[in-house]
């Protein structure tokens, strides 16, 4: 289910004194099975763009094609597009509204008019995918969940609609390191085992760097870089210029280099950094 965006513009509160253009002439293509990080500082337009991918916004200027279906076309079934492209919002409280976890996850499939057996099956599967134990959590009160569990329940609620593309907006915001790790593992599995196209929207470089294969950097409503993770992340100057912190390992390597050590800055995680440093230390001609 490829997503294509052509010359897209977006203005908030158009026609009022508060009008503000949030997207400028965006062109983009995301193919099947890609694992993309959509990164930018706040107000860069990344969430706005994401909401075009599942037809929450309909283009007034430019085009958005989901699997060849134009979202601005009157004959396009927008509800179907929203089932195909799942969107998990930043704040799970905006999404969870039923009393129990099970009921809430069942909401999407109910809207799809699935049979009761099918709904039960999907709820069970979705809970397994995000690592919520069915027997423990099915009847649990939503408000009794921890932050990380709420977030997982919110993802399960979207997964139960069986999307082919999954958009996760600010998925790690406000979680402790452990909750963050758990959630990111869930996402990784969804991409690797579930063969889903996953788009992570985030302003945190560290989380995203370890996971995604392609990074799109946005700033002030424009795409300023788009390429394989390693390539984009090593342009430290560019990241710092728009106020994004590069991943710490890359910063360490950069500092080493500045101090005359011959290491590459193209590392994504701590293991690569270690082997690179070990390699440098073992080089002939060094004491």
Residues contributing to the site for another protein (CB under 8 A): 12-17, 51, 54, 56-57, 78-79, 82-83, 86-87, 89, 91, 93-97, 107-108, 111-112, 143, 157-158, 161
Least distance CB 221 / another protein (angstroms):
17
Q: How far apart are CA 85 and CA 92, in angstroms?
A: 18
75 token code pair: 């004959």
Give whichever of 72 and 242 is closer to another protein, judged by the CB atom.
72
Least distance CB 87 / another protein (angstroms):
4
Q: How far apart are CA 253 and CA 182, in angstroms?
A: 27
Vertex 32, ends 121 and 27: CA angle to 5°?
Answer: 130
Least distance CB 18 / another protein (angstroms):
8
Least distance CB 127 / another protein (angstroms):
16
Give whichever of 84 and 219 is closer to another protein, judged by the CB atom.
84
Angstrom CA distances, 42 to 19, 39, 46, 52, 136, stand at 18, 9, 8, 18, 37
b/e map 147-180, b = 16+ CB within 10 Å: ebbbbbbbbbbbbbbbbbbbbbbbbbeebeeebb
Give whichever of 19 and 128 is closer to another protein, judged by the CB atom.
19
Give 243's DSSP letter: T
Least distance CB 14 / another protein (angstroms):
7
Give whichever of 94 and 178 is closer to another protein, judged by the CB atom.
94
Give whichever of 130 and 233 is closer to another protein, judged by the CB atom.
130
Give whichever of 114 and 223 is closer to another protein, judged by the CB atom.
114
271 token code pair: 């293991």
Place of tokens 């492209």: 85
Give whichever of 93 and 231 is closer to another protein, judged by the CB atom.
93
The answer to whether 87 and 167 are in contact (CB under 8 A) is yes
Least distance CB 15 / another protein (angstroms):
7
Helix H or strand E segment including 27: strand 20-30
b/e map 48-59, b = 16+ CB within 10 Å: bbbbbbbbebeb
Least distance CB 242 / another protein (angstroms):
25
Least distance CB 119 / another protein (angstroms):
13
278 token code pair: 């070990």
Give whichever of 54 and 172 is closer to another protein, judged by the CB atom.
54
**The length of the chain, given as a count of residues:** 287
């Amino acid at each position: 289910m490829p997503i294509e965006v052509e010359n897209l513009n977006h203005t908030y509160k158009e026609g009022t004194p508060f009008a503000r253009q949030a997207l400028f002439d965006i062109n983009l293509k995301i193919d099947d099975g890609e694992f993309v990080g959509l990164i930018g500082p706040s107000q860069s337009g990344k969430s706005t763009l994401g909401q075009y991918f599942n037809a929450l916004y309909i283009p007034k200027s430019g085009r958005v094609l989901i699997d060849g279906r134009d979202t601005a076309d009157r004959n396009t079934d927008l509800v179907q597009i929203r089932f195909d492209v799942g969107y998990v919002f930043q704040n799970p409280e905006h999404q969870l509204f039923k009393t129990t976890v099970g009921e809430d996850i069942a909401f999407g499939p109910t809207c799809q008019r699935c049979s009761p057996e099918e709904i039960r099956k999907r709820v069970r599967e979705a809970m397994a995918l995000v690592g919520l134990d069915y027997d423990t959590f099915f009847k649990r009160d939503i408000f009794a969940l921890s932050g990380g569990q709420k977030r997982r329940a919110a993802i399960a609620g979207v997964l139960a609609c069986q999307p082919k593309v999954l958009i996760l907006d600010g998925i790690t915001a406000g979680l402790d390191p452990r909750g963050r790790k758990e959630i990111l593992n869930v996402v990784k599995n969804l991409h690797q085992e579930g063969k889903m196209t996953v788009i992570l929207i985030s302003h945190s470089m560290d989380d995203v760097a370890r996971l995604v294969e392609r990074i799109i950097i946005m700033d002030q409503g424009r795409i300023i870089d788009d390429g394989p993770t390693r390539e984009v992340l090593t342009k430290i100057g560019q990241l710092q210029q728009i106020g994004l912190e590069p991943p710490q390992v890359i910063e360490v390597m950069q500092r080493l280099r500045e101090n005359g050590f011959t290491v590459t800055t193209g590392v994504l995680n701590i293991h690569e950094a270690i082997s690179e440093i070990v390699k440098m230390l073992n080089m002939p001609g060094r004491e």
